Chains A and B, each alone.
Chain A
Amino acid sequence: MRAIALILAAAAALTAQVRYEDIVKGPGVNWLTYMGDYGGQRHSPLTQITPANVANMSPKWTYHVPGANHLEATPLVYDGVMYMTDANQIHAIDARSGRRIWVYRDGAVKRQSPNRGAALLGNKVFFLTSDCHLVALDRRTGALLWSKEYASLEKDGHFATMAPLALKDRVIVGVGGGDGGIRGVVIALSAETGDELWRFWTVPAKGEPGSETWSEFPLEYGGGATWMNGTYDAQTNTVYWAAGNPWPDQFGKPRRGDNLYTCSMLALDGATGKLKWYFQFTPHDTHDWDAQSIPVLVDLPWKGTTRKVLLHANRNGFFYLLDRVTGEFLSGTPFIDKLNWASGIDAKGRPIELPNIEPTPAGRYICPSLRGASNWMSPAFNPQTGLLYVPTLEQCDVYTVSETVPEPKKEIMGGGSEPHNGLPGKFYLRAIDPLTGKRKWEYPMTGGAESWAGAVSTAGGVIFFGDDDGQMVAVDAKSGHHLWHYTMGQNITASPIVFSVDGKQYVSIAAAADVYTFGLFEPAKPTPLVPTRTGN
C-alpha cells in the first residue's frame, strides 16, 4: 500500500497541467478555449478526417444533460476529458465514451440563463453562474475551489451567459442584460483567487470621454452589454471584446448621439484594462445590432504587407476588416444580399446611412433582421483556404418602437420586430474572402431560421457546421460541396469542436439537450468482462 502511495505521489508531480503556452499554441489534440484558440479562428490542425473519408463518419456517443433544452455551450477537451456546461452546472465527461465523471451544480441560483461554456487553466476549470459568479473547480475532481460574485444580478440587472476567457494569470468576464437598461462592463479577475484586477465600463461615466455622445440620457442604463466572450492576442497582450447595443434598443430619441462605446469593438490592454482603441460599427443603433459576433484574429497580406487584422461579420450586415494593432478601418463589405439601411461604409469606417431607418410605431422594413446577418454563433477561419466561414441569415424585419422610455432592469427593449410578412429568413454558410469581402461560395440551409449553430474548420479540409434544421453537416472547405450529414432530431444552438483521444479524431456538437460526438467508423470490438472480486 505504502509503495503504491509513493508511486502515485511521484506520478502526481509529473501530471500535465493546462499551460497558458499550450492555449497560445491553439487547438490540436485538445480544445482548450471556447473558440479553440485565443484568436477565435476555430481551426483544428487535425487531418485524420478528410473529404475522402468523412463519408465514414458515424456517431460515437451521446451525452444527455439532464433538464437541458437549449444547450449553447462549446465543450472543452483536455487530456480525454470533456467539460460541458449548462445553466449553473458543469459536467466532466470521458471524451472517448460519453460517461459522466463528475458534475457540479449550484442549486442556489435564482436565474437559469443559457451558458456557453468553460475555461481551463492549470488544474482549474472555470465557468459562470447565471448570476455572475466566477466558479473555479478542480478540473480533475469537480471539487469547488471558490465561487466569486463579480457583478450583481439583484442590484444592477447583470447576468452571465458567456464562457469565461482564461489568460496567463487572469480570467476575463463580461455581463448580459443590455436589453434591460444596464451598464456593460468587462472585468479581469485573478485566476488564483477570483479577486478583481481591472474593469472597463463600456458606457463612460459622466464627464469621461465618450459621455458627450449620449445627450442627457442616464449613462447607468446605456447598455453596451459584454455578454459574449472575446478573443486575445498574446503577442501584444490585447483583449478584443465586443460591446452590445444601446438601450432602449429600438427607441433612439432620448439618447441622441453615437452612444459610445455601444456596438463597438474594444481593444483593451490585458494588463490594465485600458482602452487601446475602439471601433464603432453602428453608431446610435436602433436595431439591436450589437457587435457580439466573434472577432477573429489573423495575420493577412494587405496591400503588400502582412498585417495583424481582425475579421468581424457584424450583425448589421457588413463584414469588416480592421488593423487590430491600431484599430484602423481597412474595409467593410456587405455579406448579405438584402441590406437597405446604409449605402456602404465611408473611408473612416462609418456607415453611410440612408434616410428613415429608425423604427416607427407603425413599423419600418429594414434588412437585416433584428437577429442580425450573423450573431454569436461562431464563424471559422481556415488558414489554408484563407476563407472565413460565416453562418449567415438573410432576413428582413419590420421594426417597431414604443415611444416611451421603458423602466430600466425589466428587460424591455423599447420596441419590437417581426419578420416581414411573417416570412422567416434563410440561413446560409458563406465562405468569405476577408481581403475582398467577396463570397467564394455559399451553402444554403433548410429550416425555420431558428439556428444559433456555428462552424469549425479542420486542416483535413472539412468544415463542420450545425445547420438550421437540426443537422450536423460536413462540407468541403474549398468548394462548399456537401460531404456528409447527420440528423440530430433537435435544434442546434451551439458550435462544433474537433479534438483527438488515443490517436482518434472526433467532432462534437451540442444540440438542444444532448452532446453528440462523431468519429470515423470502426467495427465494434467484443470486450471480455474484466475479472472482478471484492476484498481488501
Chain B
Amino acid sequence: MRKGSSCAARYHKIQMLRCFRIVTALVLGLAAASAWEDPHKKDVGDKNLALRTPEAIAAGGALFASACAGCHGRKGEGGRGPRLNEGYTIQGAPDDRLFSSIKNGVKGTSMPPFDLPEIQIRELLGFVRNLSAPAAEAPAPGNAEAGSALFYGKAGCGGCHSIRGRGGSLGPDLTNVGAERSLLRLRATIMAPRLLPSGDYRGARLTLKSGKTLEGVLRSATNYEYQLQSADGNLHRLAAEDLKEVVYREGPVMPSFANRLSATEIDDILSFLARQTVRPRVSD
C-alpha cells in the first residue's frame, strides 16, 4: 500500500513538472527545460537514457506490469510482442532507439506510441534493461556467502567449474560469469542446462585403436582430429586416424539442479555467481 501511494504521489509530481515544463519550454527552449527538469541527466548522459537506480527500476516495473506486460509478458518473456528479457534485438539496441520505440511506437507493428512523460519512459527502460543486464549489475536475489558454500559444497558446482583457479575444469571457467551472463540466463542454465551450439564442453568418450580410453569434454572436434580435456584439466590432442570410436554423451554434462536444490539455494548460488567478475564491479 505504501508503495502504491508513493507511486501515485510521484505521478502527481511528474504531472506538475510536466505543466511547468511546457511553460518553461516557451521561455528557455526545450533543451534547456529538459535539462532542468531531469535530476538524473547529469549522471547518465544523453546516450544512457535508462534510469538504473533501484527506485527507478521498481517504478519502471510497476508501469511495465500495467502498460507492457499484456503483449511482452509479465517478465518480458514475450508473447504478442517480442521477447524483452534477452536476445540481440533488445540487448543490441541503444537506449535512444528503445526510447523512440516507446514514445513513437514502431510503424508496421502493433506497438503503439505511449504518451508518457520522459522520466517514466526512462524508468521503463531501466526496468527492461535490468531484465537482461549482466548479473553483476542486477540486484542480488539471495545470499552470496551461502551461495559460495553451496557452490564448493553440497551443490558440487566447484567439481567442474573453477573461479580464480579454485575448482574443476570439465565446465567453463566462471571467474567472469557475473559480467558475461544475466541472472535470467544463469538461472535457466542451472535449471535446464543445454548443449552449447559451438560443441564446446560436449561430454565424450574416445576409444583409441590401441585400446586406451579417454573420457572428458571436447574443446574442439573435426573429422580429422579431436581436442579432449579430461577431468584432471589435461588436454589430449588426438588424430582421427588413431581413434576406433567416439561416444558422445547424451545431452549436456551438467545436470539440472531444478530438483536438487531449493529455490532459496538457487538464489544464493546466483548471488554468488553474480559477484564473479575479473574486473571490480562498479558497485564494489
Q: Does B237 contact A (CB under 8 A)?
A: yes
Report the Cα distance A147→B277, complex, angstroms: 11
Cβ of B278 under 8 Å from chain A? yes
Shortest Cβ distance from residue B283 to the other chain A in the assembled complex, whole angstroms: 15
Residue of A nearest to B203 (CB): A536
Residues 161-190 of A at the B interface (beta carbon under 8 Å): none
Nearest-neighbor residue (CB-CB) of B213 within chain A: A4
Q: How many whole Å from B169's CB to the nearest CB in chain A? A: 4
Q: List chain B residues, Cβ under 8 A from A304.
A: none
Name which residue of chain B comes closest to A100, CB basis: B220
Q: Knowing A15-B234, A80-B237 touch, does A141 contact B229 (C-beta < 8 A)? A: yes
Within 8 Å CB of B239, what residues of A?
96
Assess the B248–A8 pair: CB atoms within 8 A: no
> Which residues of B are found within 8 Å of A101, using beta-carbon distances?
219-220, 227, 235
Q: Chain B residues near A123: list those with CB within 8 A.
A: 233
Q: How close is A295's CB to chain B, nearest CB, in angstroms?
A: 34
The A-contacting residues of B in range 216-255, CB under 8 angstroms, are 216, 219-220, 222-225, 227, 229-235, 237, 239-241, 243-250
* List of B residues within 8 angstroms of A12 by Cβ: 230, 232-234
A322 CB, min distance to chain B CBs, angstroms: 41
Task: Give the distance to chain B from A254, nearest Cβ to Cβ, in Å.
Answer: 38
Contacts of A525 on B, CB cut-off 8 Å? 241
Give chain B nearest CB distance to A517 CB in angstroms.
Answer: 15
Q: Does B162 belong to the interface (CB within 8 Å)?
A: yes
Q: Which residues of B contact A405 (CB under 8 A)?
A: none
Q: Which of B32-40, B73-81, B120-128, B173-181 lies on the face that meets chain A? A: B173-181
Max count, chain A CB within 10 A of own CB: residue among B239, B250, B279: B279
Residue of A nearest to B176 (CB): A144
Q: Given contacts A144-B173, A146-B165, are A8 and B237 in contact (CB under 8 A)? A: no
In the assembled complex, A11 has its CB within 8 A of some CB on chain B: yes
Number of A interface residues at 8 Å Cβ cutoff, please give it.
41
CB-based nearest A residue for B242: A530
Is A142 in contact with B173, judged by CB distance below 8 angstroms?
yes
B-contacting residues, A118-153, CB 8 Å = 123, 138, 140-147
Q: Looking at the assembled complex, report how far the CB atom of B222 sits from the nearest CB atom of chain A, in whole angstroms.
A: 7
- Tell whether, in the assembled complex, residue B162 and residue A143 are in contact, meaning their CB atoms are under 8 Å apart: yes
- Contact with A143, one of B173, B179, B240 (Cβ below 8 angstroms): B173
**Which of B216, B232, B247 has the most A CB atoms < 10 Å from its CB?**
B232
Q: Are A145 and B164 in contact, CB atoms less than 8 angstroms apart? A: yes
- Which residues of chain B are within 8 angstroms of A106 by Cβ–Cβ distance? 278-279
| B273 CB → nearest A CB, Å | 15
Does B265 interact with chain A (Cβ within 8 Å)? no
Query: Which residues of A are found within 8 Å of B278, using beta-carbon distances?
Result: 106, 108, 144, 147
- CB within 8 Å for A530 and B250 given contacts A4-B215, A144-B176, A147-B278: no
Enumerate chain B residues within 8 angstroms of A142, measured Cβ to Cβ. Answer: 173
In the complex, the answer to whether A8 meets B215 with C-beta atoms within 8 Å is yes
* A212-246 residues at the B interface, CB under 8 angstroms: none
CB distance from B111 to the nearest CB of A (A): 32
Give the number of A-B contacts (CB < 8 Å): 121
CA distance A147 to B224 in the complex (A): 36
Contact B246 A144 (CB under 8 A): no
CB-CB under 8 A for A97 and B231, given A143-B169, A532-B247, A533-B248? no
**Bound: A159/B240 CA distance, A:** 44
A94 interface residue (CB < 8 Å to B): yes
Residues of B244-283 contacting chain A, CB below 8 A? 244-250, 278-279
Q: Is A531 an interface residue (CB 8 A)?
A: yes
Q: Closest Cβ of chain A: how far from B203's Cβ, in Å?
A: 9
Q: Would A146 and B247 be within 8 Å (CB), given that A101-B227, A108-B278, A140-B229 are in contact?
A: no
A window 345-382: CB within 8 A of B: none
Q: Is the CB of B243 within 8 A of A530?
A: yes
A532 touches B248 (CB 8 A): yes
B176 / chain A contacts, CB cutoff of 8 Å: 144
CA distance A146 to B223 in the complex (A): 35
Chain A residue at smallest Cβ distance from B166? A145
Is A536 a contact partner of B237 (Cβ separation < 8 A)?
no
Q: Are A530 and B162 in contact (CB under 8 A)?
A: no
CB < 8 Å: which of B164, B219, B233 contacts A144? B164
Q: Is A443 an interface residue (CB 8 A)?
A: no
CB distance from A373 to the nearest CB of B (A): 41
Given contacts A12-B230, A147-B279, A534-B247, 16 further A-B contacts (CB under 8 A): A8-B230, A8-B234, A11-B230, A11-B232, A12-B234, A80-B237, A94-B237, A99-B227, A102-B219, A138-B165, A140-B235, A144-B165, A144-B173, A529-B223, A531-B245, A533-B248
18 sampled A-B residue pairs with Cβ under 8 A = A9-B232, A81-B235, A94-B225, A94-B237, A101-B219, A108-B278, A138-B162, A138-B165, A140-B169, A141-B229, A141-B233, A146-B165, A529-B223, A530-B223, A530-B244, A530-B245, A530-B246, A531-B245
